[in-house]
Structure 1
Amino acid sequence: MANPTPSSTTPTPPAANPGRNPKRKRKPKPKAAAPSALNPNWAQLQSKLPHRPASTHLGKRKHEAGHPSPSPAHAEPSPPAETEVKLEPTSDDSSLTKAVAIDCEMVGVGADGGKSALGRVTLVNSFGNVVYDEYVRAMERIVDYRTRISGIRPKHMNKAKEFWVVQKEIAELIKGRILVGHALHNDLKVLLLSHPKKDIRDTSEYEMFRRERKRRSLKDLASEVLGAKIQQNEHCPIEDARAAMFIYNKHKKAWEKSMKEQFRFKKKLKKRGKKKPAESNGNDPNIPTVLL
């Protein structure tokens, strides 16, 4: 019996792809070289650069849609920086106004320089413009210029005016006007002048500015009322007179009202004082009575 032939049902190997060489192997893709392999200094440079997070399309879309990126949780708004207030004139008008402010700087005379004498005097108008500013030659020999406070130096005396000249000019300028200043009794004392009390506006005497019934310095008032820093080093009479005037201007309405009330009350007291003696004469036992 003949050996059986292989069955026709035996699977045959798949036909080879005519476009593909079975003997050719696929080459592996070359790996990207590390930055350090391309440049030995790149790794060192990269470590020094600040790390920046990669931007995403989502964040970009949010930004484009008008949604701001969220701020860090620890970020807080910084407080606004304090701006220094400078005392400058409020107008170009340099004419004499109804109210003028005065400030004097003193020098030391006498044996030990402890006695005060006028060294400089300044007047400003209601707008803060200077209407008078002169150095004054003291009648006695100056022992202490008090430069640390007054700002006056020996060279300023070269063009200084005589005291009597300055006194006369100041008297004419303040006559009939409201005189504003701080501790005005000191300024009037060195000027050897007086001024009607009803026309004096002293920032050291105004009741509204006192603290526990104590007088306060012009420096303290300027800081609180005007927000300005003055008298940091040498005093400037222009700046001090301007500060007193601006403080007065800020409280002028209430201040003038209180002054009117005070003088109205004083007039009533004077009238009552005059009536009392006249009324008491009828009961005076020393005055003889006439019997009818």
Structure 2
Amino acid sequence: MVLAPGPNAEAARKKTGKKRGWRRRARPGGGAPEHPARPHPARPPQHHEDFSRNWKALRELLKQKPQASEKPMGVSQTTPQVIQPKNTPARIKKEETQSQGPEREADKRKGPIQLEEKGSKKRAHGDPALKSTYPGPKKQKGPVAPAPPRNPTEEDLWFDDVDLADIETTLGPEAGRIIRQRMGRRKVAMTLEKEQAFTGLTKALALDCEMVGVGPGGEESVAARVSLVNQFGKCVYDKYVKVKQPVTDYRTAISGVRPQHLLQGEDFEVVQKEVADMLKGRVLVGHALHNDLKVLFLDHPKRKVRDTQKYKPFKTQAKSGRPSLKLLAERILGVQIQQAEHCSVQDAQIAMRLYITVRKEWEKAQNRRSL
């Protein structure tokens, strides 16, 4: 009696994974299965008809080589060849090597390979014939001399409102000459004092004073040195002034006045009278003259005053509403002054030189005003 399989039997069959009804086939003759006998290794073929296709291809390749022997190889020289599957990397490489064999041998006899394309030559390790012949970078025998500086041109000097002294210091004298030419001026070797000229009083006199500070903090200014020059730049008056009040600030860095100078000075009243007598009826030239007249307690007719700070053409040329004497000297005369301590004689000479350069135009303008 055969029982129908239940759910437990079905689950057990799925767990084992074996198909029902599978039976192990019995081998004929019964007993344990016998291993097949290993074939004996085949001996090398004796005749050329029995050679394999690989061996025939090798024979054809050996015939193409000029150095290959024409004698048939014996049995002892034959070597079993392993048949490699088609289109494998090893097979492709071997075929390329075999196809290029004769040409490669000929190239080696000729010499190193010469490649036309730049950068396509491979580096050969160990082969002296294929090594690069590049000698390497050239060694410098000594320091390279710097190139000579190039003079600036007008196109290089495009900027404005730059101090002329700074331009000459940075870019050289050629740059200063170009700037002066652009501004309508020339640098001339000029002297502030004319040689072999009249040394007495002239129709025009230039005045300048150096001052020291008195009072708290030295804020109040008093005259310490008074200088006058004529229109030829000759100094006609130069005296130090005794200061009655205690000096709290000598301002030596600017004025150049020291205590020993004031000890040898003249009384203020004497200096005041002498200067007033010399200026009487003459043209007074100077820079910011209101400050000098103030410390001397003097006054002068306005129509005879020539103040270089207030002359409009000078303002326009210097591009400043209140140009300093140093700026006017650099922009108009091309002279550098006041590099260290000031000198009242030199400042008076600069003011007189500025006036002399435009005296005709200045006097014509002054005459038109007085009409």
Q: With structure 2 as the length reference, what TM-score do the two structures score?
A: 0.49
- The residue that corresponds to 1:174 in the other structure is 279
> Is it true that 1:101 corresponds to 2:202 in the alignment?
no
Return 5+ residue gaps in structure 1 as ranges: 1-46, 50-73, 265-292
CA distance in 1, matches of 2:323, 2:193: 24
Q: Does 1:140 align with 2:248?
A: no
Match of 2:258 in 1: 153
Deviations 1:47-106 (A, max 9, x none): 989xxxxxxxxxxxxxxxxxxxxxxxx896797667895643113321100000010000
Q: State the one-letter code of the partner of 2:324.
A: S
Are 1:91 and 2:191 matched, yes or no?
A: no
* Secondary structure at 1:117 match in 2: strand
Aligned match of 1:225:
332
Two-structure CA RMSD over aligned residues (Å): 2.6
How far, CA to CA, are the matches of 1:75 and 1:141 in structure 2? 56
Q: Distance in 1 between matches of 2:265 and 2:338?
A: 23
CA distance in 2, matches of 1:77, 1:232: 27
CA distance in 2, matches of 1:259, 1:86: 27
Residue identity (%): 48
What is the CA deviation profile of residues 152-206 of structure 1, one whole-angstrom value per residue up to 9, with x for unaligned ones? 0001012100100000000001100000000000000000000000110000011
Post-superposition Cα deviations, 1:9-30, rounded to whole Å, max 9, x if no partner, equal xxxxxxxxxxxxxxxxxxxxxx
User: Is 2:346 the partner of 1:239?
Assistant: yes
Within 2, Cα distance between the matches of 1:137 and 1:200? 27
Aligned partner of 2:312 in structure 1 is 207
Q: Deviations over 1:207-263 (max 9, x none)?
A: 111146711000000111111001111111111000000000000000001111112
Q: Is the 8 A contact 1:180 1:202 kept in 2?
A: yes
User: How is 1:184-195 mapped onto 2 (pairs within 5 angstroms)?
Assistant: 184-195=289-300
User: How many residues in Structure 1 have an aligned counterpart in Structure 2?
Assistant: 196
Q: Say if 1:105 and 1:121, in contact at 8 Å, map to a contact too.
A: yes
Q: Please, which moves more after superposition, 207-216 or 168-177?
A: 207-216
CA–CA distance in 1 between the matches of 2:305 and 2:151? 48
Distance 1:238 1:75, change over 3 A: closer
Q: Deviations over 1:127-149 (max 9, x none)?
A: 10100000001231111111010
SS of the residue aligned with 2:321? Answer: coil
Amino acid paired to 2:276: A
User: CA distance change for structure 1 residues 255 and 150 in 2, over 3 Å: closer, same or farther?
Assistant: same
* 1:250 partnered with 2:354: no
Unaligned runs of 5+ in 2: 1-139, 143-147, 153-171, 177-186
The 2-side partners of 1:84 and 1:263 are apart by: 35
The 2-side partners of 1:204 and 1:249 are apart by 15
Asked if 2 retains the 8 angstrom alpha-carbon contact of 1:151 and 1:236, the reply is yes
Once the two structures are superposed, residues 246-285 of structure 1 have per-residue CA deviations (whole angstroms, 9 ceiling, x without a partner) of 0000000000011111121xxxxxxxxxxxxxxxxxxxxx
Deviates more, 1:180-189 or 1:80-89: 80-89
For residues 188 and 127 of structure 1, the distance between their equivalents in structure 2, rounded to whole angstroms, comes to 22
Q: Is the alpha carbon distance of 1:84 and 1:173 closer, same or farther for their aligned partners in structure 2, counting shifts above 3 Å? A: same
2:370 is the alignment partner of 1:263: yes
Alpha-carbon distance in 2 for matches of 1:233, 1:149? 7
Whether contact under 8 Å (2:224, 2:243) holds in the other structure is: yes
- Change in 2 beyond 3 A, CA 1:225/1:213: closer
Amino acid of the residue matched to residue 260 of structure 1?
N
Q: Which moved more, 1:190-199 or 1:77-86?
A: 77-86
Could you say which structure has the larger radius of gyration? 2
Question: The residue matched to 2:216 in structure 1 has which SS?
Answer: coil
Pair 76,214 (structure 1): closer, same or farther in 2 beyond 3 Å:
closer
